[in-house]
Chains A and B, each alone.
Chain A
């Protein structure tokens, strides 16, 4: 089972909201919606692994770190994200990272 990690992204949230609307109007069942989300997990994991090929660097100060259930959660402050093309600065960013080695049994988000 692929990581459900990516459900809390613009793409994932918009899908979840859309599914919720359809459930509210009873056009689909919650069970079907769940299946769609599982399919989304697979699709996004595959797409990221295969269709994306760019590198980013970042630097900042670490505010907090947490390692629990093999998931790292960091909060950084005053961070600069650098790609070849551009630079993005933020005051605060939260990084949630699941184990990247053999995606294993798919931690819930």
Chain B
């Protein structure tokens, strides 16, 4: 079945080559598309044995080298260990950042570096069922946490507290995609933050700058979001209005929040209620009106118990975030029912069960309702 996927990829890439050329898009972009596609497939672990031999050898080599580096901090690494431009990227378990200058150079390539390089490197070292989480080891031996949400956005958290990076993740709108949503507050950085999306890496700090920086720097990372354009703008509007209402409150929170390394929030997308609760206690008088409008609904619900708590039709949509939704996508030949006995005759299907992919040309099933 990996062969099937490979052949589909080949077909698609070959067929669209012409389309790309018609639009004047470089062949290199086509190759990048292919690489991104294949990498994501590999990372998903839904397909076994998908690696080419070459990539397997590369992986084995890198695993060895990564282990060596862990023991001694200042080894000279080969080029494999440095973050490569997207086309050459192979999956790595750890990304070793050797020289701050390299990082600054990488900044010049813009966010695409982070997306494709770190993103494709990120997820191999994960425990199953946990959101993507990767460690960057700097040449000084600092261990930084890189968190990658499934939508491709990157966050780097530094344990030492010169700067704490946090960003607000826009809720992931696609069904079936598991994205831990992290809400964060960005502390002000030295000087102005340039109005660009990029990674600025300086010897001891790593800063992620979005392109909508305001004075108190609640930054939204908009350019790297992979949600649909319509949904991005809706979420932007929401986030922007939140930004405007909380400028003062953000500053007061920053000293407190600089301490702990950022924890992955898994319980609810775009949740802001904890922040608002804190703020309310401190400054209830000041922004009474705005907070009331925003929090009235939320607080009312939480304190009085959700009004739907005694409903008999259970809402199963919020099952554990990291469960695979087992899905079968196919075509039906015949669906038959007698009383409550159903018979299914299906064809040409792709199944994702317990995280793994299967295909069938025919499927026959029985069920009782």
Contacts and interface: CB of A to CB of B under 8 A. Distances in A.
A32 B333 contact: no
Interface in B319-369: 325-333, 335, 340, 342, 344, 346-354, 356-369
B40 A17 contact: yes
B61 interface: no
B296 to A, nearest CB: 35
Nearest to A41: B12
B23 interface: yes
B186 interface: no
A62 to B, nearest CB: 4
B363 A62 contact: no
Q: Chain B at the A interface: mostly helix, strand, loop or mixed?
A: mixed
Contacts of A8: 175-176, 327, 329
Contacts, number: 218
B4 interface: yes
A79 B54 CA distance: 38
Interface string A56-97: 111111110101000010101001010100001010111111
A55 B362 contact: yes
B86 to A, nearest CB: 9
Interface stretch (B98-106, B162-170, B220-228): B220-228
Contacts of B369: 61-63, 65
A10 B225 contact: no
Contact of A30 (B5, B111, B229, B335): B229
Contacts of A59: 365-367
Interface residues of B, number: 73
Interface string A23-61: 011011110100110011011111111011111111111
B34 to A, nearest CB: 8
Nearest to B361: A52
Q: Chain A at the B interface: mostly helix, strand, loop or mixed?
A: mixed
Nearest to A10: B46
A11 B152 contact: no
B33 interface: yes
B177 A13 contact: yes
A43 B12 contact: yes
A45 B98 CA distance: 46
A67 B87 CA distance: 45
Contacts of A90: 326, 353-354
Contacts of B362: 54-56
B130 interface: no
Contacts of A49: 348
B7 interface: yes
Given A55-B360, A94-B327, A24 B12 contact: no
12 contacts: A6-B329, A8-B329, A22-B36, A45-B348, A47-B7, A47-B8, A48-B361, A56-B349, A93-B328, A97-B328, A100-B331, A100-B332
Interface of B: 4-5, 7-8, 11-12, 15-16, 19-20, 23, 25, 29, 32-33, 36-37, 40-41, 44, 46-47, 110-112, 115-116, 152, 174-177, 223-226, 229, 325-333, 335, 340, 342, 344, 346-354, 356-369
